[in-house]
Amino acid sequence: GAVVSQHPSRVICKSGTSVKIECRSLDFQATTMFWYRQFPKQSLMLMATSNEGSKATYEQGVEKDKFLINHASLTLSTLTVTSAHPEDSSFYICSAREMAASYEQYFGPGTRLTVT
Amino acid sequence: QKEVEQDPGPLSVPEGAIVSLNCTYSNSAFQYFMWYRQYSRKGPELLMYTYSSGNKEDGRFTAQVDKSSKYISLFIRDSQPSDSATYLCAMESNFGNEKLTFGTGTRLTIIP
C-alpha cells in the first residue's frame, strides 16, 4: 500500500525558534497533501491543503505566516512552525492523496512537537 | 453544533464481543463516509469507505450509512485485543475535491 513518511517523529524546541516538519509520499505521487493538528483526546483538525507548485490553502483561524507550508515536489511537503510557542505543542499529521482520482488519503505517522 | 458528532468514549468490551461505533452529522451534502483506526501516537489508517447509504462488509468489519437519519455506524465482530485503538469517522462532500471532516474519535479497549 501507499506509504507516507514524516520526519522528525518527535521534536522538542525552545520557545521562539522555528521547526520544520517533512512529509513524503514514498511510493506514489501526490498532487495534494494535507496538514492536520491533533490535540490530546481531540479529533484531527485540518490546518491547510497543499497543492504541488501552488500556494497552500489555509483553514479559517490558521495563521499562514506562522505555519509555512511548501509543496515543492510531487512527493514532498514541508510545514514550518515559525516562532513556536508552548501552545503550538501538538501532534502534527500529514496526509497525501494520489495523483490519480482516489478517495483515500494516506496518513503519515505524525510528528509530536513539544515547545518548552 | 459540530458538523460531525462522535461519542469519545472510552468504550471497553470483552474479547469476542460485537462492537458498535457511531457518528451523527448535520451536513446533508456529505456523500462519502470513512472509518479510520488510529493507534496511539500513530497516524490514522483507513478501515472502511462507503458511498451514500447502505452497508459494506470487510471481514469482521461492517459499515452502515443511513443518510435519511444522518447516522453512520461501524460494527466489529469477534473483537480482538488488537482492535484496541481510537476509531474516527470522517466524511466528505465531493469526491477527491473537498476536505475530510472528522469526528472526535472513540477510544476502544478490548479486554482479553
- List of residues 6+ apart from A80 with CB closer than 8 A: A18, A19, A20, A21, A67, A68, A69, A70
Tell whether A40 lies on the interface with B, counting CB pairs under 8 A: no
- Which tens digits make up the pLDDT trace of B60-80? 999 999 999 999 999 999 999
Report whether pLDDT(B1) > 80.
Answer: no
Taking CA atoms, A85 is separated from A94, A116, B57, in Å, by 21, 8, 45
A chain contacts of residue B32, beta-carbon cutoff 8 Å: 103
Higher pLDDT, B98 or A25: A25
Chain B residue with minimum CA distance to A106: B45
CB contact under 8 A, B103 and A97: no
- Which tens digits make up the pLDDT trace of B4-52? 999 888 999 999 999 999 999 999 989 999 999 999 888 899 899 898 8
Higher pLDDT, A106 or A53: A106
The predicted model gives B50-63 an average pLDDT of 92
**Beta-carbon count within 10 A of A27 CB:** 11
Report whether pLDDT(A101) > 60.
Answer: no
pLDDT of residue A39: 87
Residue B92's Cβ-count burial label (10 Å; 0-12, 13-18, 19+) is: buried
Tell whether B66 lies on the interface with A, counting CB pairs under 8 A: no
